[in-house]
């Protein structure tokens, strides 16, 4: 995983875990990689992964079964989606819309490219 300098590593790992949950790779009530296993996979300190898991636990996305490991919460997908949607709408969308305005990009062009993106990356056919 390539880490960016403009955001804390534990938050970038939280985004990685969240994406796996949203894509259904780690479904509700299933065990996720241990702190040590994820640290090895991402080549980070286990303390950083633990901080990520604590953050996600506070967001009620995952929970800990003592002695067994961490699991995706029953409504973890819903929690992740709500958290990331709000973050996108507050932080990323204003910058995106600003660029659309400055570069004179028509919303219809964005819609076409969005449909192409869904088709190419997720196999979702265009309307």
Using one digit for the tens of pLDDT, what is the confidence trace for 66-88? Answer: 999 999 999 999 999 999 999 89
Does the pLDDT value for residue 127 go beyond 80? no
Which pLDDT score is estimated for 62? 98
pTM of the model: 0.81
Kindly report, residue by residue over 40-66, the tens digit of the pLDDT.
Answer: 999 999 999 999 999 999 999 999 999
**42 and 13 fall within a common domain:** yes
Which pLDDT score is estimated for 111? 95
Which pLDDT score is estimated for 57? 97
Residue 49 makes CB contacts below 8 A (sequence gap 6+) with 10, 13, 35, 36, 38, 39, 42
Gyration radius (Cα) of the chain, Å: 17
Q: Is residue 111 part of a domain?
A: yes
Range of the structural domain that residue 39 is part of: 9-75
Q: Is residue 4 part of a domain?
A: no
Domain tally for the chain?
Answer: 2
Residues 49/38, Cβ–Cβ less than 8 Å: yes
**66 and 86 fall within a common domain:** no
């Amino acid at each position: 995983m390539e880490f960016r300098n403009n955001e804390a590593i534990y938050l970038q790992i939280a985004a990685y875990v969240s994406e796996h949950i949203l894509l259904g790779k780690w479904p509700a009530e299933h065990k996720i990689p241990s702190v040590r296993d994820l640290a090895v996979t991402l080549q980070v300190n286990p303390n950083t992964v633990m901080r990520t898991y604590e953050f996600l636990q506070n967001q009620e996305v995952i929970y800990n079964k003592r002695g067994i490991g961490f699991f995706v919460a029953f409504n973890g997908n819903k929690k992740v989606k709500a958290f990331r949607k709000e973050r996108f709408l507050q932080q990323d969308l204003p910058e995106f819309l600003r660029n659309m305005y400055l570069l004179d990009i028509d919303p219809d062009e964005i819609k076409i490219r969005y449909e192409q993106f869904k088709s190419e990356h997720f196999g979702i056919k265009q309307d």
